[in-house]
Structures are given as structure tokens and as C-alpha cells.
Structure 1
Amino acid sequence: NTLDLIKTSRQDSASIDISSIPMDDSLTFDLFCRADTIGVFQLESSGMKRLVSNMQPSVFGDIVAILALYRPGPLGSGMVKDYVECKHGRKRVIYPHPLMTDILRETYGVLVYQEQIIQGVQVLAGFSLGQADLLRRAIGKKTPEVLAEQRLQFVEGCLKNPEFVEKCPKSSTPEEKANEIFDTINYFSGYGFNKSHSVAYGLISYQTAFLKAHYPVQLMAALFNGSINNQDNVISYISECKAMGVNVLPPDVNHSAKTFTVAPTGFRISVRTISHFEHDFCGTSPEKETVPEEWIEPLRNSMKILKNHDFKEEAEFLEIFAQNTESLSGELNTLNSKVNIAIFDLKSPFSAWLRREARIEVIRFGLNAVKNVGSKAVDAILKVRNEHGQLTDFMEFMKKVDLKEVNKRMIETLVKCGAFDSLHENRSQLFAAIDSAFHLSQEFHRAEEPLQDSMFELMDAGDAEATITQLEFPEVRNWPKRERLNQEKMALGFYVSGHPLDSYVSEIKILATTTSKMKEGLLAEKDKVSLVGIVVNNTVRLNQSNEKFAIVTLEDTQGTIEFPVFASVYEKVGELLESDDPLLISGRVNYRDEEVGMFVDNVHRLSELRETEAKSMLIKIGAESLNHESVSLLRKTLQKYSGDKPFTFSVQTPEAVSVIITPEERINITSTLIEELEEILPHQTLEFGYPSLKNFR
């Protein structure tokens, strides 16, 4: 699916042969070393990411070893620690015997694979392949009598091997050394993994990592398509896209396909673009030969200057980039210069590279992901678009779509998730007008029926259409941000255009010691933990004493986790668990039947903690969001909430300079103030000063 998305969204790129990608790609290994492995096959869990980070993979063999080592046996035996320490030279590599040096060199003296055991006993004791496999199976079964017999054969074989005897260290006799090696094999064979399996898995891990390093948007879209029925995965991938700077957009009747797709929205030189430039043109990549050496430095500097500037049109982007580069090189007005040829000639390798790497790509939800909208309804929507092109207003959609396939409930759901935003931005207004729209649409279709004995026969067809399709929208404000998000969640099962926790970044940084990922089992029993999230399911039951307790499912930006709230605590916090407000849940880790949960000690509503504990507020905003109207409205709003707490503006200019403004006025920090600020300045970031908030963990 990733390769298909690359083909459809990167039509100017060469097709990818995943079986022929370089196995030493530096961008891929950089990704591994950052443990940026969400979406990478077999390497997504918190524990696996920790091992990858510790390992700092530098060759494909490290990936193979990671997959073999990340199991309870090796993790608990010290093998993994030895491997990592030896790999990084912090511990001397010790081989059981000099004859095993070649066999164990790739794993730094650690027995990792079953194949190493088979090779080892062949080299040391002269076993045939069949004898070696019998030994492997005998060790696996752990039958004392059979093990004793195999030990005897192994020791005898070693003592008959002159090279084994000759190269034995003087600290022990050959017989002692042979028994010691058998003990080592016996111990580690219980943890040995089939290398061929690990290589096969490792290849898929490497391939998905390569795709994430070079085609991150396409890979993430493919992951969404494969995980739409797995809520935790989708939540995690939405969060990962946000961290990657990739926008995930709600469904849209004008733009969405059935499944998740990738769409270009403009051009921007990002940190990632510059990193790829260094990789492709300043290293040993074949791309390096496509640009004259003297242009490398001007191109690099031009990228740094234009970093994070957005361009809608390709022509404008290429023109400004070329002018900027020429200016830096001192070759002004040289229309036939090498850089102009490189940048403006769309067939040139560098131009293709630049347009590919600077292209802003977004992921668009597919219409199939919308709840209660079946495949026939999706087909009807796509049919309208295929036959009539992009729609311009809501009533045009209502006139042209088959309302036998797309019913009122489906339209309501599509409005809730933002699928009509490109036709009418005010979702609340549109939702309130659905009944009228259906009525007008039905009148329109009746008017089109032949031999209709009605007033429409007396009208010109154009007049009839104009009369019928005049939909009047009620004068209502758009849903507040939180309600829009809740409606999206109802329609899709996920928060897409934002998350209720986005408003609590300051609090989460201070208060949350873990996330829902704690269920992966990295924390110890009874560890004290605090996490922030929203209750999405709260099942209240009665215990044997007829007291209420609850089974709660909490969702954060990483997924969901379920835990009980026992009667003694439920009595105090039960009302909070009924709300959909972000909560701080504190307690201790609990393992039951290998499932990770927690014993809850306390629950706090984050909005209440903010109102009582926040001592100052910082408003971060881009200068492009400020105009006369927004500044005037902002001033009036802040004056309305006059109080005793200071606030500061940090305004980001187009030149990436932060201008700090500290007014003399003071405010009262309340939830309603925050809601109004989010409506006035939807792209702002609020941070709060908390001198003593840690006390609530």
C-alpha cells in the first residue's frame, strides 16, 4: 500500500523497487539511532524503541540481532546488556574459545542465534550437521539423561580436536574448558533464536524504516489504511504524524477518496529537506554528481534562509529559490547560469529532487472511515465528484447526490466530521440547515420529474432551480473548538483536527509521568504514576458490599488504557469520571494476569487545577495571525477577564524572531477565557506558569 501511495502521489518520482534499496542508507540508520520507529515493523513498542536507542544500529546485522534479543529470556539474562556494551566498546569482547571467534564476531561474543550453536559444536567438537541438530534439540527438551549423553559426546569431540586443545587458555584444562562451553551453550540455547527468521523479519523492519525515512507521509497513510479498526494504533499514528509535522486532515467530499490518501498542498524547505540535501549532495550519494560543486554552498545557504517559508505555487517557489541562490553566489541576472538550469528545468535531476523534497504533503482521511456512512453512500458521493468535478456549495451537493443512498443521518455525520468544510466552514450553521436542505433538494428533484403537475411547469427551469436551491442558513456561531472535536470523535472514532489535550501542554509536561503506553509493561509493580487523559468509557458496578466501583477506559494521545477505580476512591471522584474533561489520574502500577493497569489514588480535573494553580500565562502566536480585527477582539476579551495574574505575548515573525510583549494589565485565568482565546486565535499556543503543580502528581 505504501508503494502504491508513492506511485500515485509522487508521479514525478521514479518507481521504488523495495527489493533493491541500499542496505546501508544513512537516513535509515539515522532514523534507527533516533529510535524513530513508530510504524516500523516489529520495532514500535516502548521497550523495543529503548533497545534500538541503546543499540544505535549501524549495520543491518544489528537490526537482525535486536529482533532476536528482544524476548523475555535474553532481556532477563543479561545477554542484551552484554551485546550493547560490547558493541560500543564499553566492555571487552570475550569469546568462549578462539575457534568461535569467526562465528560470534557479528554478535560481539554473545550466543544469539541457534545457527551459531550448530556451527560452534561442528567447529569445536567435530559434530556433523545431523549431530549438531540432535544436540540443539536435546538441549531444548532439557532431558537430564539425554543432556548427559550429549555432554559426554561434546567433551570427547573437543578433546579429540587438536586445534581445540592447542588453543585452549592456560587458565583451565581442555576438559574443563569443554565442559564450560557446553554449560554456556546449554544456558544460551534456551534463548537462541532462529537467525533465518530474524533476518526475514529484519528485512521488513529495514524496508519500512527506509520508507519512513524517505517517504514518511506515504508510509503513515498506509499505516492508517491498515489500522482503521484498531483504535489504539490510529490514535498513536495521529500523534506520530503531529510529531513529524504531517497534517492529518478530516474527510472531505471534494477531496477524499475511499481510503486514506496523500495530497500536496504547497512547498516548504524544512529541517528534513536540509538533512536530505546533506545526505544526497554532500556525501557519497549518486545525486551528488547532478549539481556542480561550486553551487553546493549557495544552495545549502539558500535553503537555510528560506527554511519554514510556505509557498503555494511551484513556480513562485522555484523562482524565489533560484533568485536567492544566485544572490548568495554573486552571479546576479545570469538567466543561463547553471543554477537556473538546475532549478527551472523540470527535467533536471536537481529540480526533481527539490520539488520532491520540499513538497508539503498531507494525509486525508478516507470516506470509508466515517461511521454510519456505508460503501454505497461513499460510491454515490464519489460518483457526483467524478461526473461534475469539485462542488462549490452545499446545495449543489444536495441536488446532485443520490439521496436514496445518502440519507439524513449520513449527512449529519459528514457535517460533524468536517467533510463539508470546503463548501461551508460553519459546521453548526450547516448542521442546523440540514432539514431545510433536504426539503429543498426533494422539491428540486420533484420539479425535474417529467409531466409534473405543479407550479414548476409554469416556471422557466432556471427560475425553478434558483427558487428551490436558495438555502438560508440560521445566524448561529460555529461550534466551539471542544464541541467540534467531540463531534469529530463521534463521527470518526478519533480526534483529527486537534485533541482536547492540546490545550494542556504545560500541565502534561509537569504532571504526566507516563502515558497509556504504560500497558506495554516497562514499569514495575507498585511504581507511582500519573497520567493525563479523557475518560471514554466508565462502567459502574456494585461490589460484594453493595458499594459502587468503576471500570474506566482512559484515552490520551498515545492510545487507551483500562483500570478499576475501587469503591473507596470512587466515592470521592465518581462525579469527575462522568465528565469528558481532561483529567489527571494518579495511582500505582498493578499487574493482573499479565495485564498492566493501575490502582487509582486520586483524580483531578485539569481545568480546575489551571484556575487555582496557574500564576501566569504566555501566549505564543505567529505574526500572520494578527490583524486589526483579531487584535481588537483580543484586547476586549482580555479586558473582560481582568484579574491579578500577568500574561505575556511571544509573537513569531516571518524571520523566525520572537518578539516578547508584556502588557501592564493583569488577567483572571479561567476556562471560558481559554475557550474564547482559542476561537479568536485558533493557531496560538498557551503556556502557564506553575510554581507548585508537581505537588498534585
Structure 2
Amino acid sequence: AAQVIGGYSLGGADLLRRAMGKKKPEEMVKHREIFAEGAAKQNIDRAKADEIFDYMEKFAGYGFNKSHAAAYAYVSYQTAWLKAHYPAEFMAATMSSELDNTDQLKVFFDDAQRPVNGIRFLPPDINQSFYRFIPNANNEIRYALGAIKGTGEAVVNQIVAEREANGAFTGLLDFCERMGKHINRRSVEALIRGGAFDALEPNRAMLLANVDLALQNAEQKSQSANQGGLFDMFDDVIDDIQMQPAPAWSEAVQLAEEKTAIGFYLSGHPFSPYREEVRRVAPVSLAKLSEQDGTQRVAGFATSIRTIMTKRGKMLAIMLEDDESKQEVLVQGDILAELPREVLQADQILICDCRVYRNESGELRLNANTVRTLNQARVAYADCLTLTLQPAHDIDALAQLLLPHTQMEEERRIGLRFRYQNERAYGELLPAPQWRIALTEPLLAALAHLLGDKAISID
């Protein structure tokens, strides 16, 4: 209409379109006059020109919205159809579009594992993964090497090209030797922390401790190859290089290291080993708090603690995560002032009694009334201490540790139960009443040091 009736050029018609889209009244007034002048040259009187322009102006009020809504609705339908019928393929493609956005990857990762989607993630693997996320026919997705921090597309593509040309890597030494100048320390360490070598060697701590050795070995072999037969006599010595042993990380340390490479917990969650025990005192998961109001006891692994300055003073925001969801807990005022320093540390289980409510925007808010570490909660809520023993444990040392705590005031003492397990048998022992013990935080710390934290359970 602008060209045929109003005499607009293509460029002028585009300016009118922009004015209509932005709904600027002053621009539309100018274009009404331009349109009327052009229409007059087509022998169309002013009244008819204004009537036509009125229709165009009215369309500007809804036409663009409706056309956009229709397009978005169609794209939404296509997206939903793909997700419903090809969930693994859809999520792999979606996650591959956000390789550098850890926060968004975590959202997609959690969504993919919801029961309605039922997608299982396979860990990153130096011999199986590619730069992007790859689905398979079993509704599984192989984690992308490109999503590990410290790698890059060029490095990953070189890894893939090398293994496709010369076969699977057999270990860290073989990997560094074959990759040569195409790999650096940062990338190797990131791949180890992310679990990409687990199929070849599950002890990530040992691999990390031998990165220097592997890189030096690769450099020496490269130099030897470049110098011809002069150093051939040393080839056998180089080939006999063995990696130095190192104790494996604890599960908590391994998950923390993994998070530095992946951006979130992939192979497990530090809350999981304590779930059963913690749910006895804090039965409501963070994911279900939206259904609750009032005061609730919540628990989770503190992944971060940050300080917020407000008009009312200092406030702490603790990010708690369980294996279902995460939620921020606010601590302020007298409660914050009274908390001991050991409570206000990240990377530990915290149990909080909170006032749960929704703010004016409808967002869930948690204000803490109390904050306890796991050991503090064990002392506060315990009725019985259960210790799981194995043949390797020092029973005499355990008895000496427990004995002083059997002699404290009776009202402070709780029941004690032993579980014993070896390769052939399992049994429980309830000691005589005189072995009731007074549970304290120092005792729990000493028991964890002697037996390991997983050997301790509170009922």
C-alpha cells in the first residue's frame, strides 16, 4: 500500500514499517502527510488517503504482535515435538549450543534427567567423547569434551583426529606422547579433573600427580625421534617409565575437583552420602519447599557463602544444594552475630531451621533461625550412634576413644550400636547400657578420623 498508493520507494516503505513497529506517534504523523501527498499524485483524495492510512495504523497496533506470536508458537510446537519424540538428540543439540555457559548447561542437565525425559548421561571419555554432546540409541548422551573448562575446540578436534587415525589412547603417558605439542598442562589437568581418563585409570589423584612426568616423557621421545639413531640406546629406558603411585582422593575431594572442571557435580553429589541420615531430621527436600509454608528444617551442601550489605547491616546468603535442587538461605541480625566461624564455611553439610515464605514477587525465601553443621546437628538431635566397623579398623583405639564418653552425666548419653561387616558376614551388636555415650563434636571428629565419615550414622 505504501508503494502503490503512497508512492513510497522501497527504502521509504521500510522506514514506515519501522515507525509502525515502534509505534512512535510523532513518526506516524509525519508519514501520514507523506502518504497523503503520494496518494494525491495517484488522484486519491485526502479523505480516502486518511481512511487507508487509518487502517494501516490500526494494523500496526496488533499485526506485528500477532505475526510474531504465530511464528513463536510454531517454533515452540516444533521444539516440544522434538523434545517429546527425540529427547536425547534434542537435549544433546541444545546443550551443545551452550558449551561455554555452565549455568545454562546445569539447567539443561537437570531437566534432561527428570523422569519424564529419562535421559542418562555418560561421563566424558578421552576415547569416546567429541567436542559436542553426542546422543545414542539408548536415550543416553555422552558428555562433551568441549564442555570441560580448560579445553577448546582446536584441542578436542586434534584429540579426536589422533584417536581416529591411530586408535584409542591407552593411558596418560600414551596420550601425552601422541598429542605432543597439541596439548598443554592446563588441558591435560582439566581432562583428568573432569573424569575423561576414568575408563583408563580411575585414580584421578595419581594421574594429576604424574602430569609433569607424562609431558616430560612426551618431550623426550619427541626429541629422540628428531635426533635419529644417536639416542636409540635410551629408547628402552624411556619406554620403561612408570607413573608414580598416589593415594586416591576422597569422594568429597574428587567431586570438588570435578566441579572446577565441569562447573557442577557430574558423577555424583556431595550431599548424597549423607542423604539417608539427614532426611531423618530434615525430611523435606529443597525441591519440595515450594509446597510448604511456615518454619521448616532444611538441609543441603553449602556450595557458596556470600556477604550482602543492606541498610539493616550485614547479611549472609548461603547457597544450599541437595541432590534434587538448590535454594538460598539468608542469615542476618543476632542469629548471624552468634554463629561460630566453623559454621560459616562452604563445602560442608548445613542444617537450618528457616522461616519459609514468598515475597511480593512470589519468589520463595528462606530466613534462617538456626544454622548447624552436620556434627552439631548430630549432637543436637541424636538418639543413637551407629558405627560401621570393618576388619581394617583399630578396635582397641576405638574403645579407648569411646570410654571417657561413657562416664559423663547420664542425661547427656545416648545409645550406641555397632555394625560389623567383612567379605563373608554382616552383624549388629548392641552393647550393654553402661556403654551409652555422651556425643560431642570433638568425639565425632575423632571418630571420623579413625573410622572414616561414612562409618558414622546417627538415628
The answer, yes or no, to whether TM exceeds 0.5 is yes
CA distance in 2, matches of 1:489, 1:399: 27
Show the counterpart of 2:270.
500
Establish whether residue 571 from structure 1 lines up as the match of residue 329 from structure 2: no
Q: Report the CA distance between 1:393 and its aligned residue.
A: 1.9
Q: What is the 5 A alignment of 1:418-567? A: 418-449=195-226, 452=227, 457-460=229-232, 463-510=233-280, 511-515=282-286, 518=289, 523=292, 527-544=294-311, 547-567=313-333
Q: Is the 8 A contact 1:249 1:496 kept in 2?
A: no
Q: Report the CA distance between 1:543 and its aligned residue.
A: 4.4
From 125, 129, 140, give the equivalent of 1:252: 125
CA distance in 2, matches of 1:528, 1:664: 36
Q: Report the CA distance between 1:676 and its aligned residue.
A: 8.4
Query: Per chain length, whose mean CA-contact separation is higher, i.e. which structure has more relative contact order (CA < 8 Å, sep 6+)?
Result: 1
CA distance in 2, matches of 1:434, 1:458: 27
Structure 1 residues 254, 673: CA separation in 2 closer, same or farther (over 3 Å shift)?
farther
AA in 2 matched with 1:252: D
May I ask how many residue pairs the two structures share in their alignment? 363
From 218, 230, 233, give the equivalent of 2:107: 233
Q: Is the 8 A contact 1:441 1:468 kept in 2?
A: no
Q: Report the CA distance between 1:379 and its aligned residue.
A: 1.3
Structure number with the higher strand fraction is 2
Show the counterpart of 1:120.
none
AA in 2 matched with 1:537: S
Show the counterpart of 1:583.
350
AA in 2 matched with 1:533: G
Q: Is the 8 A contact 1:232 1:558 kept in 2?
A: no
Q: Is the 8 A contact 1:530 1:586 kept in 2?
A: yes
Show the counterpart of 1:606.
374
CA distance in 1, matches of 2:253, 2:116: 21
Cα deviation code 1:232-260 (max 9, x no counterpart) = 5146247647996x753431212212223
Q: Report the CA distance between 1:609 and its aligned residue.
A: 2.6
From 638, 646, 658, give the equivalent of 2:417: 646
Cα deviation code 1:149-181 (max 9, x no counterpart) = xxxxxxxxxxxxxxxxxxxxxxxxxxxxxxxxx
Show the counterpart of 1:165.
none
Cα deviation code 1:354-381 (max 9, x no counterpart) = xx8xx7x754311011012111111121
Q: Report the CA distance between 1:394 and its aligned residue.
A: 1.2
CA distance in 1, matches of 2:394, 2:113: 32
SS in structure 2 of the partner of residue 401 of structure 1: helix
Q: What is the 5 A alignment of 1:123-134? A: none
RMSD of aligned alpha carbons = 4.3
SS in structure 1 of the partner of residue 271 of structure 2: helix
CA distance in 2, matches of 1:497, 1:434: 22
Show the counterpart of 1:116.
none
Show the counterpart of 1:5.
none
CA distance in 1, matches of 2:212, 2:423: 44
Establish whether residue 596 from structure 1 lines up as the match of residue 367 from structure 2: no
* TM-score, with structure 2 as normaliser: 0.65
CA distance in 1, matches of 2:116, 2:176: 34
AA in 2 matched with 1:481: E
Q: Report the CA distance between 1:616 and its aligned residue.
A: 4.8
Structure 1 residues 565, 471: CA separation in 2 closer, same or farther (over 3 Å shift)?
farther
SS in structure 1 of the partner of residue 359 of structure 2: strand
Structure 1 residues 567, 235: CA separation in 2 closer, same or farther (over 3 Å shift)?
farther
Structure 1 residues 219, 674: CA separation in 2 closer, same or farther (over 3 Å shift)?
farther
Establish whether residue 382 from structure 1 lines up as the match of residue 157 from structure 2: no
Show the counterpart of 1:409.
186
Q: Is the 8 A contact 2:352 2:370 kept in 1?
A: yes
Q: What is the 5 A alignment of 1:12-411? A: 205=80, 208-211=83-86, 221=92, 224-225=95-96, 229=101, 230=104, 232-234=106-108, 236-237=110-111, 240=114, 248-262=121-135, 363-403=141-181, 405-411=182-188
Q: Report the CA distance between 1:540 and its aligned residue.
A: 1.8
AA in 2 matched with 1:395: L
Q: Is the 8 A contact 2:304 2:347 kept in 1?
A: no
Show the counterpart of 1:615.
384
CA distance in 2, matches of 1:558, 1:515: 7
Structure 1 residues 383, 598: CA separation in 2 closer, same or farther (over 3 Å shift)?
same
Q: Is the 8 A contact 1:236 1:557 kept in 2?
A: no
AA in 2 matched with 1:513: V
CA distance in 1, matches of 2:70, 2:345: 51
CA distance in 2, matches of 1:457, 1:210: 60
Cα deviation code 1:532-573 (max 9, x no counterpart) = 22233322244457x532233333323433343223222233
SS in structure 2 of the partner of residue 662 of structure 1: strand
SS in structure 2 of the partner of residue 500 of structure 1: coil
Q: Which runs of 5+ in 2 are unaligned?
A: 1-68, 403-414
CA distance in 2, matches of 1:252, 1:200: 34
Structure 1 residues 670, 241: CA separation in 2 closer, same or farther (over 3 Å shift)?
farther
Q: Report the CA distance between 1:638 and its aligned residue.
A: 7.1
AA in 2 matched with 1:569: I
Q: Is the 8 A contact 2:384 2:417 kept in 1?
A: yes
SS in structure 2 of the partner of residue 637 of structure 1: coil
Q: Report the CA distance between 1:581 and its aligned residue.
A: 0.3
Q: Report the CA distance between 1:580 and its aligned residue.
A: 0.8
Q: Report the CA distance between 1:421 and its aligned residue.
A: 1.9
CA distance in 2, matches of 1:375, 1:440: 25
Q: Is the 8 A contact 1:618 1:650 kept in 2?
A: no
AA in 1 matched with 2:269: H
Q: Is the 8 A contact 2:390 2:420 kept in 1?
A: no
Structure 1 residues 379, 201: CA separation in 2 closer, same or farther (over 3 Å shift)?
closer
